[in-house]
Amino acid sequence: MARPNKLRRVRRMPIYTHFYADRPKAPPCQEGLELSIEEYEVIRLLDYQGFTQQEAAFQMGAGRTTIQALYTQARRKLARFLVEGFPLTIKGGSYQLCPEQTALNQHNKKGEHIMKIAVTYENGQVFQHFGHTSQFKVYEVENGTIVSSEIVDTNGQGHGALAGFLFGGGVDVLICGGIGGGARNALAEAGIELYPGATGDADAQVESFLKGNLVYDPDTVCSHHAHGEGHDCGNHDCGSHKCH
């Protein structure tokens, strides 16, 4: 008996499914390329979201070798579309739709009253540039009380990739200073609640959050690229002002 295909978890179906190159003289029966739904999901997670292969494997319920194979196949098809101009359609495959909240529940495997809070961290303070933070302080909270905390290095990851890093660590809430639009989108995709614009002692900010009186600014942004090289968001008070 043939071994049944294992269904891979997919959190989001593609919005756009048909792509055509601008080739007005292309033959009417031109060969087409098909990108499976799980191949699309791998591209979305790795190239768009910035997840690592390990994080993508965990989210899709597959092994890293499977993720690598899907990624290689998908990139090959995208390359043929770009270079040879074959029509590309996204459809089919072996997958099950796993909406965001369901995926998060499977990912966290935590009790109903347990959460993880991460804070961008430097020398005991809330670090003021999410995309450049080299450390997070991660707090585990049970029934509204901090039961443990640890300082975690980001290993050089930055910006959107940090959302995958936090997701992989089971983080539910992020408290930070300045943060750009791309990172905001990546955190939203990962289902992580964001509280930007916080400043001061990291431990104190978490305690304030748990008491319901955290001072933060949901509109805080930090468009650091506009400043050019060498911009230090901490010197521009990005945690309390919009950084233009």
Q: What is the DSSP string of 98-157?
A: --HHHHHHHHH---TTEEEEEEEEETTEE-SBGGG-SEEEEEEEETTEEEEEEEEE-TT-
**How many Å apart are CA 238 and CA 244, to the nearest integer?**
9
**Residue 217 and residue 143 share a domain:** yes
Q: Which residues contact 50 (CB under 8 A, 6 or more apart)?
A: 159, 160, 161, 162, 163, 164, 186
Tell me, yes or no, whether 131 and 75 share the same domain.
no
What is the predicted pLDDT for the residue at 113?
Answer: 57
> Considering the domain boundaries, does residue 3 fall inside one?
no
Total tally of structural domains belonging to the chain: 2
**Which CATH number do you get for residue 78?**
1.10.10.10
Tokens of 167: 């997701």
Tens of each residue's pLDDT in the chain, 244 residues: 444 567 888 878 888 999 988 765 555 555 789 999 999 999 998 888 788 777 777 778 777 788 899 999 999 999 999 998 889 999 999 888 875 544 444 444 454 457 899 999 999 999 999 988 999 999 998 878 899 999 999 877 666 578 888 888 888 899 999 998 888 888 887 778 899 999 999 999 999 998 888 999 888 776 554 444 334 444 334 443 333 3
Shared domain for 63 and 127, answered yes or no, is no
Task: Decide if 117 is inside a domain.
Answer: yes
Beta bridge partners of 10: 97
Name the residue among 109, 94, 139, 105 with its Cα closest to residue 121: 139
Q: Which of 106, 127, 143 is the last residue of a domain?
A: 106
Q: Among 106, 133, 165, give the residue marking a domain's end.
A: 106
Is residue 18 domain-shared with residue 129, that is, in the same domain? no
Shared-domain flag, residues 40 and 126? no
Quickly count: other Cβ atoms within 10 Å of residue 70's Cβ.
Answer: 24
Residue 60 lies in a domain: yes
Q: Identify whether residues 217 and 231 lie together within a single domain.
A: yes
Asked whether residue 183 is assigned to any structural domain, the reply reads yes
pTM for the predicted model, two decimal places: 0.53
Last residue in a domain, options 81, 106, 131: 106
Same domain, residue pair 222 and 121: yes
Return the CATH number at 197. Answer: 3.30.420.130
Within 10 A of 55 (CB to CB), how many other CB atoms are there?
A: 24
In the prediction, which pLDDT does 118 show? 95
Domain extent for 42: 8-106
Instruction: For residue 228, give every residue at least 6 positions away whose Cβ sits within 8 Å of its Cβ, in sequence order, or none.
Output: none
Determine, yes or no, domain membership for 72: yes
Whether residue 176 is contained in a domain is answered as yes
> Does 214 lie in the same domain as 120?
yes
Do 114 and 231 lie in one domain? The reply is yes
- Is residue 71 assigned to a domain? yes
Q: What is the residue-wise DSSP string for 38-96? A: HHHHHHIIIIIS---HHHHHHHHT--HHHHHHHHHHHHHHHHHHHHH---EEE---SEE
Pair 135, 228 in one domain? yes
Domain identity same for 69 and 171: no
Indicate if 218 and 196 belong to the same structural domain: yes
Indicate whether 195 belongs to any domain: yes
